[in-house]
């Protein structure tokens, strides 16, 4: 039995679909609320759903778990409640780490490329304390993920108890089905599809940096199936531990993405540049590109899906259909 926190969310529900195909029992820790998140699980209901506030009692019952995959978090990059973010993204993660260490269970958790801040310190997933301390996240969410990465590195450096397998995954820009409840944090691919499908141009932010042209801001966009494949690889290889980037290793521009959306929608290129919101100026990552050496060296050899292929799969197999869910 696998426990997945955030299992009704975007990445979590795609992972759950893959675990369901393996005939594995899954306990999901999440809140379905009233935003339609239940539809993320409609085709593959879990064995059990536990509300986050009941997680402590559930773990105290000594459930027969085989692994914990911790994806649940406050993931809004515009979050401002520091106390709430700390409790959700750091304190809960520390509790689960200690519990897995005591129970001798694998622990896989979601970190984030937001920990790299403006990228000036590079995108190297070195989990050495000195290397991690050089990073300067730009927002509260990224800082909280960085805080837990630092804490984990400190625990390991001090030789304190740790899970028999542990892996932190620094997700870059993930896109794919079942993200529809995410509001402002939905992927750029989905936003641009909605614009183009409605007959409007794909609107891109003008650059807030003099050295980067409008539309040439670039991110490492990764198809959610590749993310799920990496998590399954870790579950299948308990000898692999560490902090790993999870992107494609290739940055692509927002213009590239907009063109891919237009192509998949079967329309000519139409792109319009609009001012960047003031709330994002100075907090916007204009470039991200994962160094993938460590995960590759650990044995993950699946080819990553090119942006154009992933965007086409998302639009043709999900967004263009009456049932957009996996």
Catalytic residues: 141, 182
End-to-end CA distance of the chain: 21
**DSSP string over 257-314:** HHHHHHHHTT----EEEEPPPTTTTTT---B-----HHHHHTT--PPPPPHHHHHHHH
Q: Report how far residue 17's alpha carbon sits from residue 19's, in angstroms, rounded to the nearest whole number.
A: 6
Tell me if 200 is assigned to a ligand binding site: no
Tell me if 73 is assigned to a ligand binding site: yes
Tell me if 225 is assigned to a ligand binding site: no
Angle at which helix 254-264 crosses helix 188-197, to 10 degrees, equals 50
Tell me if 207 is assigned to a ligand binding site: yes
Residue 189: burial class (beta carbons within 10 Å; 0-12, 13-18, 19+)? buried
Tell me if 184 is assigned to a ligand binding site: yes
Q: Report how far residue 71's alpha carbon sits from residue 179's, in angstroms, rounded to the nearest whole number.
A: 14
Tell me if 129 is assigned to a ligand binding site: no
Tell me if 170 is assigned to a ligand binding site: no
Tell me if 314 is assigned to a ligand binding site: no
Residue 174 is inside which H or E element, if any?
Answer: strand 173-175
Tell me if 300 is assigned to a ligand binding site: no
User: What phi and psi values does residue 67 have, to the nearest 5 degrees?
Assistant: -170, 160
Tell me if 72 is assigned to a ligand binding site: yes
Tell me if 259 is assigned to a ligand binding site: no
Query: Is 24 within 8 Å of 48 (Cβ atoms)?
Result: no
Residues making up the annotated binding site for substrate are: 173, 184, 205-208, 219, 284
Residues making up the annotated binding site for NADP(+) are: 10-11, 30-31, 37, 71-75, 145, 174, 182
Residues making up the annotated binding site are: 10-11, 30-31, 37, 71-75, 145, 173-174, 182, 184, 205-208, 219, 284
């Amino acid at each position: 039995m696998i426990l997945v926190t955030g299992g009704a969310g975007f990445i979590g529900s795609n992972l759950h679909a893959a675990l369901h195909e393996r005939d594995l029992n899954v306990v999901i820790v999440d809140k379905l609320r009233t935003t339609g998140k239940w539809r993320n699980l409609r085709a593959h209901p879990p064995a059990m759903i536990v509300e986050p506030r009941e997680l402590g009692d559930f773990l105290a019952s000594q459930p027969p778990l085989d692994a914990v995959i911790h994806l649940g978090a406050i993931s809004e990059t515009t979050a401002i409640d520091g106390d709430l973010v700390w409790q959700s993204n750091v304190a809960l993660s520390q509790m689960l780490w200690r519990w897995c260490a005591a129970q001798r269970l694998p622990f896989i958790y979601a970190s984030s490329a937001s920990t790299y801040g403006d990228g000036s310190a590079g995108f190297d997933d070195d989990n050495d304390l000195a290397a991690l301390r050089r990073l300067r996240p730009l927002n509260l969410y990224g800082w909280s993920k960085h805080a837990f990465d630092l804490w984990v590195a400190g625990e390991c450096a001090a030789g304190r108890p740790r899970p028999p397998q542990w892996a932190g995954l620094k997700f870059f820009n993930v896109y794919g089905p079942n993200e529809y409840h995410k509001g402002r944090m939905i992927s750029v691919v989905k936003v641009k599809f909605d614009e183009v499908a409605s007959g409007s141009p794909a609107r891109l932010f003008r650059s807030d940096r003099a050295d980067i042209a409008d539309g040439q801001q670039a991110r490492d966009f990764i198809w959610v199936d590749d993310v799920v494949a990496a998590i399954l690889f870790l579950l299948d290889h308990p000898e692999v531990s560490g902090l790993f980037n999870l992107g494609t290793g290739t940055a692509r521009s927002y213009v590239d993405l907009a063109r891919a959306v237009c192509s998949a929608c079967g329309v000519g290129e139409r792109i319009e540049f609009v001012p960047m919101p003031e709330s994002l100026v100075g907090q916007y990552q204009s470039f991200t590109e994962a160094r993938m050496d460590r995960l590759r060296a650990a044995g993950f050899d699946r080819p990553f899906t090119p942006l154009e292929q992933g965007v086409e799969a998302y639009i043709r197999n999900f967004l263009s259909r009456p049932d957009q869910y996996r």
